[in-house]
Amino acid sequence: MADRYDVVVIGGGPGGFRAARVAARRGASVALIEKQYLGGTCLNWGCIPSKALLAAAHALLAARHAAEMGLDIPSATPNWPVIQQRKDAIITGFRKGMAGSAKAHGFNVIPGRAVITAPGRIEVQGESGNTSLEAGKIVIATGSETTLLPTIPVDGRTVITSKEALSLPNIPASMAIIGGGVIGCEMACVYAAMGTQVTIIEALDQLCPMTDQWVGRLLEREFKKLGISSLVSRKVASVDTSVAPARVALEDGTTLNAEKVLVSVGRRAVVDETVAALNLRMNGRVIAVNDKLETSVPGVYAIGDVVGTTYLAHGATAEGDVAAANATGADERMEDYDMVPRVIFTFPEVASVGKSERQCEQLGLDITVGKAFFKANGRAVAHNALSGQARVIRDNATNNVVGITLVGEGATEYAPLASTLIGKSDKVTKIIFPHPTVSEVLEDAVLDAVGPVLYGPPGL
């Protein structure tokens, strides 16, 4: 006889784990099925290990620039095995923490691969055999996987994905990164700091193409200081791994050599045999859902990368909250995806919330853009973190703030504060920012965007 649960969640990444926890706290009996490790890609091969490496890289760069602060550090060299050990220990610690959290919140974690055989029925293929479950409601959170290029086969040794890049046994002398998006740029910062000669090759006309053009240009300029070469508007034709180092040929006829070639051209939803029997309505390669995260099959919800809305861990957890609440009798909705912060942990960091300047242009909005610079901020200068700026977008028709982007050291930590300013006008100038703090960069940009409306032009 099959075990029955009110809610079964498939996938133990950030979104799935949050959904299981919320549903359990709302009184439902819950099972979470995870085929490999709790935490999914984010904890095990994405967000957390990459941030552990970026933290080591940041400390290394700070040590190398210590003389500018009046500190003498004789040498600053990476101990790669210890860096890797620390990264792995962080991952293991959080896995154990998630297992304990599941127990504390009263939901079962079932290891194995889930296959939905019919609405409300799930087969779990585990190492010790198969088990059957019945579910009142199902939440699909199967995540995403690396997008591969058919013309550039990945062998896991010379041509690698971000998964291998996080655990290389040695620091390579050189690396070519195909794709200048979030993952590619973050990995570029890690390895450039470690001493690798890094070249990013991006097919579009800027790094991090999802951001406004000024952000991409700023990153390209700062990356150059790190020794990173950025080749934008360029495409890779082929990679020859029969020679060492590998030879990377571009479509314009130029070539470059690299010990490692990282393919980082995005991620795609994992929609496989897990959900095949349901015949779900699809939106291209992702599962189609409404604003309640309901699929085309009653009682089945989908969240996170598998629905292709944000490809962000915190976007998945926000969707997990909504889906779990609705699966347990509530009537919640995802309202505005522009309010999901978009963050990039490069050197310098990038954080955006609300509409971008590009979106405003596409929507035909009449806007004013307020600007402020880190090099004019007292604490940023004191910390030797001069690179970056903040931009605040005001809709001139409403005088409301509709978008904010910050680029600079620690910018990602200001995303929640920035979120509270979206949709406001006069009240944003009532916020008192402590001095001296880097947050005053945001204050200055707000005043540059909104101040003229409230106080009149300069000189009055």
435 carries an active-site annotation: yes
- Burial of 101 (C-beta count, 10 Å sphere; 0-12/13-18/19+): middle
Would you call 145 helix, strand, or coil by DSSP? strand
DSSP 62-118: HHHTGGGGT---S-----HHHHHHHHHHHHHHHHHHHHHHHHHHT-EEEESEEEEEE
Q: What are phi and psi of 409, to 5 degrees?
A: -60, 130
Strands 174-178 and 197-202: parallel
Contact present, 149 and 263 (Cβ < 8 Å): yes
- Provide the residue type at 332 as one letter: E
Beta pairing partners, 282: 287
Q: Which residues contact 373 (CB under 8 A, 6 or more apart)?
A: 388, 389, 390, 441
Cα–Cα distances in angstroms (integers) from residue 341 to residues 103, 144, 387, 402, in the given order? 30, 20, 21, 13
Q: Active site residue: 58, 105, 314, 435, which one?
A: 435
Rg (CA), the chain: 24
CA–CA dist 275, 322 (Å, integer): 21
Q: Are 181 and 266 in contact (CB under 8 A)?
A: yes
CA distance 307 to 286: 5
Give the catalytic positions in this structure. Answer: 435
